[in-house]
A and B are shown apart, each in its own frame.
Chain A
Amino acid sequence: MTMNINQSDINKKQIDIINQQYTEKIRESAKKVLLEKKVDVVIGFKNGTEPMTTEPCLINKASDADKLIWNEHCRLNLANYVKGRKDKAAVVAKGCDSRNLVNHIIEHQIKRENLYIIGVPCNGMVDKSLNLKELKVEAESDTMQENLDLFPINRDMLQDNCKTCIKRNPVIFDEMIAEPVKEREWTKEEKLKESFESVNKIEAMAESDRWSFFNDMLSSCTRCYACRNACPLCYCPTCFVDESRPQWVGKGTDLIDVRTYHFLRAFHCAGRCTDCGACEAACPMNIKVRLFTKKLDKECFENFGWEAGMSLDERPPLDVYKVNDNANFIR
């Protein structure tokens, strides 16, 4: 069995086979670790209530293991559900989830010995808005299954962050459910040009255009905080949006408050964001909130050579300093 498949030539049939194999192996591992009492809970995905969606799923009985599934719609980041847990948990983790688990460990949110990581080599997740649009699938329509059978997964259909993924296989794991997939090797130049293309475009705009670009982008934001809640990095006991003395940011959908919220949310993720895309996947208004976090990713990569969640031995960039850090903007 080889999983070294280029993303562009994966078709629906291959994806089906992979999904089935992954699902079986995940269920098998979940059963095993629960029966052996290695863990108290297994965190994975189950089918969502709507077509082409999945939900996070916590199971604590081996008999429930058959609820678990794997497919190309497992966009959320399961590392979000282990933070602060005191019991032992097994997590089904694709590349980005595992990088967030590394984050949690180095930020002391969870102990490595309390984690059992079921590693999943990831073939990328399908863009949630694109596939619905392309396939014109109405929820509960009869033709849905037919459409799905024809459904190919090519690079154009991947969600944006998967197109520029730097780690498809888990960084740390206790077991892998399949052979690792091929990783793309990025040179620094390639990464700056390709991975940060969206950010580069905005940087090239005039200041006032940038201001109005983000105003337009955020005009539909309802402040539902789905992006915050889906993000594994957000675990402050009191979020800055809930602080009232002083109140740093208003609670309504006033545009300045919305801008402030998104500014500060992204800033809190500086040097920690793994670009897993859970924020965008969770956004009910399809706002490209990654444009903010991605800019700070770029800054950290350019200035500190930092990619979050890749190693247990390195501290995040804002937790360390160098005597010769860039200081040319300071008088």
Chain B
Amino acid sequence: MSEFEPKIITILCNWCTYGAADLAGVSRFQYPPNIRVIRVPCSGRVSPKMILSAFHNGADGVWISGCHPGDCHYITGNYYARRKFMLLKNFLEYNGIEPGRIHFSWISSAEGVKFAEVARDVVESVRQLGPAKYFIKKELDDNDLCSCLNKSNPDNNLAKNILEEQAA
């Protein structure tokens, strides 16, 4: 598994953690390049649709980060987000997602060090879990068609026939 490099969708609030990412970069703190950043106005903007969509499209982990409680640019956005995140995390785990795939943090724009540190931890935790297993949406290709149709009956040549017909 040492060759596996996780892809992590990272959703950062514009006012705090995005600033922290900037600071970490300017200050040349080292952190792994596995994170893909999406900037949102507030952690309260994050919807469960986005998390599932990340998993659909091949993310191995999701990390959401915003302002510390009390520091929200919109005063209370992250307080509401916190309740939502708790339900979301527990509900994802109830559905079968491993606990280490989804991470939350509060990082202020002055905490470049914390940003790099959490980034390292998140990447490491997802790396330990290996590639995502659940909620992956893939397009059906020829191999899938074969395996679907053959599943019920190993001698079934229907799939092959269909594919040959298509090719001809």
Answer whether residue A1 sits at the interface, using C-beta atoms and an 8 A cutoff.
no
- Tell me which residues across on chain B come within 8 A of A266, comparing CB atoms: 91
Whose C-beta in chain B lies nearest to the C-beta of A205? B96
Contacts of A256 in B (CB 8 A): 56, 135-137
Spot the interface stretch: B4-12, B103-111, B156-164: B103-111
Closest Cβ–Cβ distance, residue B51 to chain A (whole Å):
10
* Residues on the B chain within 8 Å of A250, using CB: 137
Chain A interface: which of B18-26, B27-35, B80-88?
B80-88
A235 touches B (CB below 8 Å): no
B97 at the interface (CB under 8 A from A): yes
Whether A325 touches B79, Cβ cut-off 8 Å, given contacts A207-B96, A256-B135, A295-B91, is: yes
Contact across chains for A329 and B94 when beta carbons are under 8 A apart: no
The docked-state distance in angstroms from the alpha carbon of A318 to that of B91 is 15
> For the complex, what is the distance from the CA of A260 to the CA of B48, rounded to whole Å?
10
CB of A299 within 8 A of CB of B87, answer yes
Assembled-state Cα–Cα distance A329/B65 (Å): 12
Q: Across the interface, name the chain B residue whose C-beta is closest to A208.
A: B96
Q: Does A330 contact B (CB under 8 A)?
A: yes
Of all chain B residues, the one with the shortest Cβ separation from A215 is: B96
A249-264: contact bitstring with B at CB < 8 Å (1 yes, 0 no)?
Answer: 1100010110110011
- Cβ 8 A contact of B87, one of A240, A267, A327: A267
What is the bound-complex CA distance between A210 and B90, given in angstroms?
Answer: 13
Q: Are A318 and B84 in contact (CB under 8 A)?
A: yes
Asked if B97 contacts A207 (CB within 8 A), the reply is yes
Q: Is there a chain A Cβ closer than 8 Å to B71's Cβ? A: no
Given contacts A260-B56, A270-B87, contact A211 B137 (CB under 8 A): no
A250 to B69, CA, bound (A): 36
B142 at the A interface (CB under 8 A):
no
Taking CB atoms and an 8 Å cut-off, the chain A residues in 283-331 that contact chain B are 295-296, 299-300, 303-304, 317-318, 321-323, 325-327, 329-331
Given the complex of chains A and B, what is the CA–CA distance between A246 and B103 in angstroms?
24
Contacts of B86 in A (CB 8 A): 299, 303, 325-326, 329
Residue of chain A at shortest CB distance from B136: A256
B80 → chain A, closest Cβ, in Å?
6
Residue B2, interface by CB 8 Å = no
CA distance A89 to B88 in the complex (A): 36
Q: Are A331 and B98 in contact (CB under 8 A)?
A: no
**Is A203 an interface residue when CB atoms closer than 8 A count as contact?**
yes
Asked if B69 and A323 sit within 8 Å, CB to CB, the answer is yes
Q: Among A296, A322, A325, A330, point to the contact of B104 (Cβ < 8 A).
A: A330
A322: nearest chain-B partner, CB-CB: B79
Q: Which residues of A are found within 8 Å of B121, using beta-carbon distances? A: 331
**A211: which B residues are within 8 A, CB to CB?**
95-97, 133-134
Q: A211-B134, A254-B137, A260-B52 known; A331 and B106 CB under 8 Å?
A: yes
Contact A264 B52, beta carbon cutoff 8 Å: yes
Is B128 located at the chain interface by the 8 A CB criterion? no
A267 to B49, CA, bound (A): 10
Known A250-B137, A296-B87, A321-B83: A331·B95 in contact at CB below 8 Å = no
The residues of A that contact B93 with a CB separation of less than 8 Å are 207
- In the assembled complex, the Cα of A263 lies from the Cα of B56 at a distance in Å of 13
- A22 is an interface residue with CB less than 8 A from chain B: no
- Cβ contacts under 8 Å, B79 to chain A: 321-323, 325
Given A210-B96, A248-B53, A331-B105, decide whether A260 and B135 contact each other with a Cβ distance below 8 A: yes
**A202 within 8 Å of B (CB atoms):** yes
Residues of A within 8 A of B136 (CB): 256
Query: What CA separation (Å) do A296 and B87 show in the bound complex?
Result: 7
Q: Does A214 contact B (CB under 8 A)?
A: yes
**Counting CB contacts under 8 A, is B118 at the interface?**
yes
In angstroms, Cα B97 to Cα A299, docked, is: 17
Could you pull out 17 A-B pairs where Cβ atoms are within 8 angstroms? A202-B94, A214-B96, A254-B137, A259-B135, A260-B56, A260-B135, A267-B88, A295-B94, A321-B79, A323-B70, A323-B79, A327-B69, A329-B85, A329-B86, A330-B82, A330-B104, A330-B106
Interface residues of A (CB under 8 A from B): 199, 202-203, 207-208, 210-212, 214, 240, 246, 248-250, 254, 256-257, 259-260, 263-264, 266-267, 270-271, 295-296, 299-300, 303-304, 317-318, 321-323, 325-327, 329-331
Given A207-B97, A208-B133, A270-B87, output 13 extra A-B contacts at Cβ < 8 Å: A208-B96, A211-B96, A212-B96, A214-B95, A240-B49, A249-B49, A256-B137, A263-B91, A299-B86, A321-B80, A323-B70, A327-B69, A331-B118
